[in-house]
Structure 1
Amino acid sequence: MSLSYVLKEGVAGLGRARLAAFTSIFSLFVAVLLVGVLSRVGFNTYEVIQLIKQQVEVEVFLQNIDEQTTQEIRDRIASEEFVEELTYISRDSAAKIFQQDFGIGSDALADLQFLPASFKVTISDGVEIAQIDSLVQQVSTYRGVDDVRYNQALLQTLESRSETLFLIGGAIGLFILFVAIVLVFNTIRLTIYAKRDLIRAMKLVGATNSFIRRPFLVEGMFQGVIAGTLAAGLIIILFEWIVPNLVPQIGVLSWPFGRWYFLTGGVLLLAIILGWWGSRWAARKFIKETKVYTND
């Protein structure tokens, strides 16, 4: 079979069931557009969550200990696996910070020197809450450590909510893709039905199912190309011009892998795959079921 015949028949198939083809292309367009938008939003949400996690600091409050013990604690904390940076805050420095934070009227309390010395521990990027908990429990056992604190509730809430958000987004995306495949399936089925007499004639002269199926696969892929191109173009317009003008803060958020063409290219490829998959599903099923009638 020549390539020109396959392409010609694939394009011609779009015109045989125009309404169904339009519905299929529009559904593919909406599906991959929503998946693209969900991917961009999900990626930026993940980046924001990681940024918040990077700003987590563990505070280690010390008892009234000598300099040698303080240095020992510093060395032990610094040697822990997930510690990125370690800052010592003396009692005098803690009093000054207290005065800066609480302003007028705090001098009398600050002079009481009731604030303990402490270490501020910056955690490495990508560390899970369970690992931070393990570090906190380990440090709290050191001799001379009075208390260890960090914003555990915020991190746990952030992690649980983000997992729920990603699960819901993934489920919605899969449902949308499934609906798009079904619509492509129905479009190709209508095209096959319109060509049923030709398919029977081709089978009578010895054409194989694979031979007959190829133009329908091309038709489905053409639908994907049209839908994916429209969706990719709209995503670029949406996130490069429309959204940044309406919400300037969104303009500073990055594209996945740092470039717009990774996401839009993925959207186009996804649309082509969906078109191919739906058409292959329909072609394999209905061409095989098309019966050949003879006079025997």
Structure 2
Amino acid sequence: MAKKKKIGSYPNAMIVMSLTAALFLIGFCGLLVIQSKKLVSVIRQNIEVRVFLDKEGTKSAQDSILNVIQGKPFVLSSTEVKPITFVSKEEAAKEFIEGTKEDFATFLGENPLRDSYRVKINDDYFEEAKLQQIKKELEQIGGVYEVVYQEDLADNINRNVTKIYTVLASFALVMLIIIVLLVNNTIKLAIYSQRFLIRSMQLVGATNGFIQKPYVIRGAIQGLVGGLLAALMLLGLQQLAVRNVEGLAMLQEYNKIILLVISVLSLGVLIGVTSTYQSLARYLRMALDDLY
């Protein structure tokens, strides 16, 4: 004999599972955005402006140029990487030979390369127009022979980054709308099973606030539990990826991941409370004949 459903029973597990799936997908989009932003930042930090010095420059002149460059606002301020690196002409020749497998000194008889400073730039200045201004500003320093960087690279990176963010933002927005609608419908179905219980409470004189309070609290708890489960799944997936994908560890920004987890929890509570409140309001206003 089939087990009968109790009057007023509430499908808590179904709601929590729906919220967990919804919040996990939203959180996953947020995790992708965090990782992609850090990846772009790492790429930018590895792009350098090269400041070539005059050949006849002395050590004191090089130190003076270094002091001037260090005072510029566009120089990367970071403790993770060295913002300015001095490369002697001998080191530059060694790099060139290793890269091309050709020893130019054998037929030139001398090293034509120059000492240089390799300068990393702050993200705020990573635009073609600003890089051109940096180039002009550095070339005006006494003892600087030439300033070069990979032109048009900044614009190409910025265009691609904008496309990536647009796609991710659009996907997250569409998913958020779809997921909120699905979760809202799930909670509406759950409240629907309670409609006669709600009406019975009204008939014995219970106020709307008294009726709503336990349901709204339950909705908040369901949202919190769904958020916790989604957060645990996200953190588990993130740790699994870090352990199995080489180089992914350097892209982790745990302060932002913590904020993402807090956002997922808050969103879960918000969706649970809002959807429950809206669904209850409908049945509290409904006429008796409409309940059947």
Q: Which bin holds the TM-score, normalised by the shorter protein?
A: 0.7 to 0.9
Equivalences for residues 127-146 of structure 1 within 5 A = 127-130=124-127, 131-142=130-141, 145-146=144-145
Q: CA deviation at 1:107?
A: 1.9
Match of 2:163 in 1: 164
Residue 32 of structure 2 is aligned to residue 34 of structure 1:
no
> Is the 8 Å Cα contact of residues 84 and 120 (structure 2) preserved in structure 1?
no
Q: Whole-Å Cα distance in 2 between the matches of residues 96 and 190 of structure 1?
A: 72
Equivalences for residues 240-251 of structure 1 within 5 A = 240-241=239-240, 243-244=241-242, 246-250=244-248
Match of 1:280 in 2: 277
The structure that is helix-richer by fraction is 1
Correspondence for 1:111 among 109, 113, 116: 109
Match of 1:148 in 2: 147
Residue 183 of structure 2 is aligned to residue 184 of structure 1:
yes
More displaced 10-residue stretch of structure 1: 150-159 or 91-100? 91-100
> Is the 8 Å Cα contact of residues 182 and 278 (structure 1) preserved in structure 2?
no
Correspondence for 1:289 among 265, 285, 289: 285
Q: Whole-Å Cα distance in 2 between the matches of residues 213 and 263 of structure 1?
A: 30
Q: For residue 77 of structure 1, what is the amino acid of its counterpart? A: I
Equivalences for residues 62-141 of structure 1 within 5 A = 62=53, 67=58, 74=66, 76-83=68-75, 85-87=83-85, 94-95=92-93, 97-115=95-113, 117-130=114-127, 131-141=130-140
Residues 57 and 28 of structure 1: is their aligned pair in 2 closer, same or farther, counting only changes over 3 Å?
same
Q: Whole-Å Cα distance in 1 between the matches of residues 116 and 152 of structure 2?
A: 21
Match of 1:5 in 2: none
Return 5+ residue gaps in structure 2 as ranges: 1-6, 77-82
2:152 counterpart SS class: helix
1:59 counterpart SS class: strand
Match of 2:264 in 1: 267
Match of 1:223 in 2: 222
Q: Whole-Å Cα distance in 2 between the matches of residues 248 and 86 of structure 1?
A: 27
Equivalences for residues 12-51 of structure 1 within 5 A = 15-16=9-10, 18=11, 24-51=15-42
Residue 55 of structure 2 is aligned to residue 55 of structure 1:
no
2:135 counterpart SS class: helix
Q: For residue 221 of structure 1, what is the amino acid of its counterpart? A: A
Q: Whole-Å Cα distance in 2 between the matches of residues 136 and 268 of structure 1?
A: 47
Q: Deviations over 1:119-144 (max 9, x none)?
A: 32323544431344431232234566
Return 5+ residue gaps in structure 1 as ranges: 1-11
> Is the 8 Å Cα contact of residues 87 and 116 (structure 2) preserved in structure 1?
yes
Match of 1:233 in 2: 232
Residues 66 and 195 of structure 1: is their aligned pair in 2 closer, same or farther, counting only changes over 3 Å?
closer
The alignment yields a C-alpha RMSD, in angstroms, of 3.6
Identity level (%): 25
Residues 99 and 229 of structure 1: is their aligned pair in 2 closer, same or farther, counting only changes over 3 Å?
closer
Residues 25 and 62 of structure 1: is their aligned pair in 2 closer, same or farther, counting only changes over 3 Å?
same
Q: Deviations over 1:43-81 (max 9, x none)?
A: 222222222222222112356666598776555434322
Q: Whole-Å Cα distance in 1 between the matches of residues 164 and 153 of structure 2?
A: 16
Residues 288 and 136 of structure 1: is their aligned pair in 2 closer, same or farther, counting only changes over 3 Å?
farther
Q: Whole-Å Cα distance in 1 between the matches of residues 197 and 271 of structure 2?
A: 26
Q: Whole-Å Cα distance in 2 between the matches of residues 248 and 95 of structure 1?
A: 31
Residues 57 and 227 of structure 1: is their aligned pair in 2 closer, same or farther, counting only changes over 3 Å?
same
Q: For residue 257 of structure 1, what is the amino acid of its counterpart? A: N
1:122 counterpart SS class: strand
